[in-house]
Structure 1
Amino acid sequence: MSRSWTLILGIAVIAAAGIGGAAWWQAGAESIPIGEVSHVHGIAVDPKDSSRLYLATHYGLFHTSADGTAEQVSQNTNDYMGFTPHPTEADVMYASGHPAGGGNMGVLVSRDGGRSWEQLASGAGGPVDFHAMDVSRADPNVIYGLYGGIQVSRDGGESWSAAGAPQADVIDIAASAVSPDIVFAGTMSGVMISRDGGATWEPTGPQGQPASMVHTAPDGTVYAFIVGSGLVKSPGAALDWNPVSNGLGERVLLHLAVNPADPDSLFAVTDESELLASTDAGKTWQPLSS
């Protein structure tokens, strides 16, 4: 079995079990170097300051600074999964995951930039533990979540229902920026698309290899990472997929963020929680800590 396949299968097992590693964050610490942040489950560009990032981790939500450090934002050390910011309200964020003591937290919302969180809903069959979640830029009331199958909310996260799901195991999901009914799924066999809110699915882009990550940029561009091939993208709903970068070696990208102020500025998290930055729309990458 190739290293890439082993990594993806390992990620799936860890996600299902909610397993973490040794703690790298000590409560009470003021900040740590960005390069020491680990177990990153989500990444987003700060809408108020595009030079800073939010990092959702196994030990809480962190905020990066220009000096190369990260400090804890959340008032707790919950394991935040499915982290996704509201596309137009800078202080509103959604997440799911596990409290420090174990169990599932359902759907959470923060209205103060990630400092405090409250349960918004349990989700269908919950409390859920969404390992991926995305808010539609086309209609922010529409939110998709991944918990076993795919769920959808059409009232800002207050109520949820089960949607359909691709036949292949789903790793990641991303709501289209073009239509609230279009949603993408990264699966073990490639990228899938639904045009009816998740009810039915069809393949799009390269097939036959796992798509470990799928992400939609503010301008509608869809990115996906195909294991063994690299990063690919499609301009909006055209679904004309083109290679972006295959120079990442054996790295596997799990999460991506695009700077709303500069579409060429990308940030990514790898399978080993390495933080990378690109200034040329993903063609080349550098460690964020450098």
Structure 2
Amino acid sequence: MENDDRHVQPPGSILLAATPIGDIRDASPRFVRALGEAQVVAAEDTRRLLALAKRLDVRINGRLLSLHDHNEGERAAQVVSMAEGGARVLIVSDAGMPTVSDPGYRVVCRAVEVAVPVSALPGPSAPVTALAVSGLPSDRFSFEGFLPRKDGEARRHLTSVASMPHTLIFFEAAKRLNETLVRMADVLGGHRRAVVCRELTKTHEEVLRGELTQLMAQTRGEVLGEITIVVEGARGVCDAQDHVGAVLALVAEGMRLKEAAAEVAEATGARKNDLYKAALARRDKEM
């Protein structure tokens, strides 16, 4: 096979490069070469990238910039301007593909506006990896990222996706895993199948499978590591009992019971009257 002396990316372009989500052996030869060839490297965490480069035994020769959630808005134009000037700009996040719940989206939007070429160097991706090992349907899926931190907002978001028939994928912090599973059981229904993937591709990789109520019980203690949750889509017949928690959560925020039942019914496909009666019965029982 002849040696390919071409650069990984052409001048005046932006390359989104996927980084390992755990095992550094997942770094492709193209990624290693791109790190050395890039004239500008925009990284979510420059210290982590330097540590990765050292482990991969590659020297970063280009200018190193930080590009994270807090500065991307103001730095996007600068990064794109460097590419407009002819530089090879490489964008990397801490793990996985940039722009997928990671920095890079604003840069890509700006680049598209000014017709700067954007390409991707494919590689590891936690959502797709978790979906592949989950055993849940993978023909259609929706990546939902992180749920809002506030309980009411999180439950509203879950309510909005409760009736979707395709598989749902979420990221979550380890310390919030159990409370998120509790919300999911309340809003989506405790019998819905789900998979919790922890530390994918790493030494202590763990995959927990079961219904949401079962996973709640398995995660009550301390949980560490990076977490991805995969949840099956809605099944054919919608049981009002599965969504009573969502109705009562809206009531707790100040919404009238009938209005809350109507909103959840519209989102889930459950019958409004069934939701109202079931929520009223549970509320009276808990009083």
Q: Give the TM-score normalised by the residue count of structure 2.
A: 0.27
Q: Which has the larger radius of gyration?
A: 2
Which is helix-richer, 1 or 2? 2
Determine which structure has greater relative contact order: mean sequence separation of CA pairs < 8 Å that are 6+ residues apart, divided by chain length.
Answer: 2
Q: Give the TM-score normalised by the residue count of structure 1.
A: 0.27
